């Protein structure tokens, strides 16, 4: 790069940096909004089920039936109530006041003695995800109670095969550990794509695009001048998000922070490139902002694996998800946070981000022709 080109680039970067610092909305998107999202998802959103209201009906009190009912009270997953009959319990389920009804039948004691006892569990399926979680927790309570009963009765009643489960990477099964690494991608999507989508469009709206085009700066210099300050802002936002994740929400960072930072830089480059494509194509701030939300934030939220399992999506939607850059970065972030520096996961996803970044920046350069628009 020649000295004159370096001076032009420095001037453009300085101009964009001052413009960002003078715009409170840019600072809010880069730092305030990520903090708000992290607080909401860290404290307010959980895929775990704790203290789930459940009705436990013991049709015929007996030592074993009462012991099983007490097992639900002893589980942190449930907050049981004890109606005397099925009818009021089912009414609570219809009203949504409980998520499940556990019915211990009148013949439970005799059936248990014969070895074929059954317990009925009625679930509220309006929220399918919660219903599956509650069903699993109920099975866990029943299995634990049966194991305790087997130990009390001796080896004669112990099961022939006993499965011992061990959970890797997230032993506490905290949904926060799964959500917050993915939220870093959502935050960087907002900082990168949303802010960048307004950069060129703002020049058109303010009528300064003619002045910019009249300068000796080339298209590449103009793009670099706009991208560099936003890139640095996005990386600072990433650092804030990771710091909050580790020190405030106690999410483990088992891999290398430098690897995470490198992947973040690749993802941010792809997000910035897509934002520039939107900005150069629309030439209107309002349209650019709306389009950025539509093609970056919503796909990153819905199609990246942030909350919804991609493997459970229809094949056509799975194919579309390959066009969402956040999909690749979330896979890297969750791996680095919870598993460690697993290169077999990191390298393919990083390569995909690099290809998308080059493609989007190349397309933006082609759209941002040096002429009066």
Q: What is the pLDDT of residue 198?
A: 75
Whether the model pTM is above 0.85: no
Q: What is the pLDDT of residue 179?
A: 86
| Mean pLDDT rounded to a whole number for the chain | 81
What mean pLDDT is predicted for residues 143-166? 63
* CA nearest to 128, candidates 248, 59, 239, 47: 47
| 340 backbone φψ class: left, alpha, beta (φ>0; ψ -120 to 50) | left
Q: What is the pLDDT of residue 351?
A: 97
Q: What is the pLDDT of residue 282?
A: 80
What mean pLDDT is predicted for residues 303-327? 87
Q: In this model, does residue 208 exceed pLDDT 70? A: no
Q: In this model, does residue 1 exceed pLDDT 70? A: no
Higher pLDDT, 41 or 154: 41
Q: In this model, does residue 160 exceed pLDDT 50? A: no
Higher pLDDT, 15 or 38: 38
Higher pLDDT, 219 or 181: 181
Q: Which of 61-65, 173-177, 208-212 has the lowest mean pLDDT?
A: 208-212
* CA nearest to 373, candidates 216, 224, 207: 207
pLDDT band at 153 (very low <50, low <70, confident <90, very high): low
Q: In this model, does residue 211 exceed pLDDT 70? A: no
């Amino acid at each position: 790069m020649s000295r004159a080109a370096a001076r032009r680039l420095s001037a453009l970067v300085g101009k964009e940096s001052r413009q960002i610092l003078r715009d409170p909305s840019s600072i809010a998107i880069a730092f305030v909004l990520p903090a708000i999202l992290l607080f909401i998802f860290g404290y307010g959103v959980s895929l775990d089920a704790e203290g789930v209201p459940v009705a436990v009906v013991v049709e015929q009190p007996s030592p074993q039936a009462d012991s099983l009912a007490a097992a639900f009270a002893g589980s942190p997953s449930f907050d049981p109530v004890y109606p005397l009959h099925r009818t009021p319990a089912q009414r609570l389920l219809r009203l949504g006041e409980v998520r499940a009804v556990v019915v211990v039948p009148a013949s439970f004691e005799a059936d248990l003695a014969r070895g074929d006892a059954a317990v009925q569990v009625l679930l509220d399926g309006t929220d399918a995800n919660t219903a599956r979680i509650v069903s699993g927790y109920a099975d866990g309570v029943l299995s634990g109670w049966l194991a305790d009963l087997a130990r009390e009765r001796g080896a004669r009643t112990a099961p022939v095969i006993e499965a011992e489960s061990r959970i890797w990477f997230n032993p506490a099964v905290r949904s926060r550990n799964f959500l917050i690494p993915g939220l870093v991608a959502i935050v960087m999507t907002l900082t990168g794509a949303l802010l960048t989508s307004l950069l060129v469009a703002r020049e058109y709206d303010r009528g300064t695009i003619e002045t910019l085009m009249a300068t000796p700066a080339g298209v590449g210099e103009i793009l670099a001048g706009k991208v560099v300050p936003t890139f640095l802002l996005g990386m600072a936002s990433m650092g804030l998000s990771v710091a909050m994740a580790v020190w405030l929400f106690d999410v483990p960072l088992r891999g290398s922070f430098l690897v995470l930072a490198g992947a973040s830089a690749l993802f941010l480059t792809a997000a910035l490139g897509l934002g520039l494509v939107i900005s150069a194509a629309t030439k209107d701030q309002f349209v650019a902002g709306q389009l950025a939300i539509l093609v970056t934030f919503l796909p990153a939220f819905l199609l990246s694996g942030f909350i919804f399992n991609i493997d459970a999506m229809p094949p056509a939607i799975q194919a579309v998800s390959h066009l969402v850059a956040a999909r690749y970065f979330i896979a890297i972030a969750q791996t680095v946070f919870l598993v460690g520096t697993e290169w077999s996961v990191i390298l393919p996803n990083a390569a995909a981000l690099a290809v998308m970044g080059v493609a989007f920046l190349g397309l933006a350069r082609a759209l941002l022709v040096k002429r009066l628009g």
